[in-house]
Structure 1
Amino acid sequence: MKVKVQSLDGGKAGSDIELNDDVFGIEPRADILHRVVTWQLEKRRGTARAARERGDVARTGKKFGRQKGGGTARHGDRRAPIFVGGGKAHGPRVRDFNPSLNKKVRALGLKMALSSKARDGKLIVLDNLDVKEAKTKQLSEQLGKLGLGKALVIDGDALNVSFALASSNIREVNLLPAIGANVYDILKHETLVLTRAAVEKLEARFNG
């Protein structure tokens, strides 16, 4: 699959780039994408901090008063939730939100997410992310010429510092290194922008 390589100013940046069909040319499957996205969201969830319930409190279980004649209710356990220091009634419990998913399914899901953007024409390849100055206004004008909308920009191993500073105040643009590419973020954004370095890293990730 051939894609035109563009520059930040909206023009062409040399020759086209040939995308690997094994990474960018796979037919997407909704069930695979759903499994990977669900796995990602569950991995993000934090576990609740457990509270000590009645059976976890270290207090005596001896009956501390007479059954009758005391003028109060017939309590028989200091661990009861109504007493200070007693166990909490229906307190939060630790829940495990650490699901597992086969590595092959995760890799296939990422390939399908990349392929879906390429198939729908929502994939843009840039030569690089070099900007003259780290100015938000100038970068916003350049991105407006490309007609990105809500976009996820993926760079190579290291992020372009000037681009990162200039885009930090643009709500519609998010920046990630190639190693951070994931299915959820790719599908959540309208447009996917890759640099040449990102394309090389992603293809090497699956072919090496």
Structure 2
Amino acid sequence: MGFITKEQILQVGFKNVGKGVLISEKASVYKPDMISVGDNTRIDDFVVLSAGDGGIRIGKNVHIAVYSSLIGKGKITVQDFANISSRVSIYSNNDDYSGNFMTNPTVDKRFSNVEARDVYIGKHVIIGSGSIVLPGVTLENGVVIGALSLVKAGIYEKFGIYGGIPVRFLELNSENVQTELSFAYMSSSLGKPRLLRRGGCHFLSSPLRRLAANAEQKI
């Protein structure tokens, strides 16, 4: 019981899959040839990834927690270091609720009116437990969505904290996670080296060296 092996991951048939990926043996994947998963991403128990024509692209160091789902015909993009908490539902298509069309995937498309819209989740985004993300949503870098929220179509500006049904802007989040902390992490042994160069030598400023050292000590 637990995560499937590297060999089993390759047998799933993903379009692309990175190194250090962890996928629960209880997760469900549909149309894996339309799904890409980046390095060090973790997908937990009972997660459903169901790709449509637009596909699903999951970046590096993404966590998708238990009972969450990414479903739909439109493209779903989840960028690096995003955190999708438990029981989050992300949809990239929607049925027509007007009563003028039939609904659900068992009905021939001639009788339904399914609208597909892309969903984009930026770097360092956090989506709280039990939230729903509807088609046409763009969450820019660093956005935080509070638990049990409904995110309707629209662009949510970077580092904003949002919550409610539907969500409303609450306050701005710190940008440290996007700048100093990310740089320190990627420059430590925990991430891939991305050091600056000066005169042919790699270097980090003193504050960033301390951040990198602290990151290593906490693991």
**Is TM more than 0.5 here?**
no
Q: TM-score, normalised by structure 2?
A: 0.20
Q: TM-score, normalised by structure 1?
A: 0.21
- Whose strand proportion is higher, 1 or 2? 2
Report which structure shows greater RCO (CA 8 Å, sep ≥6). 1
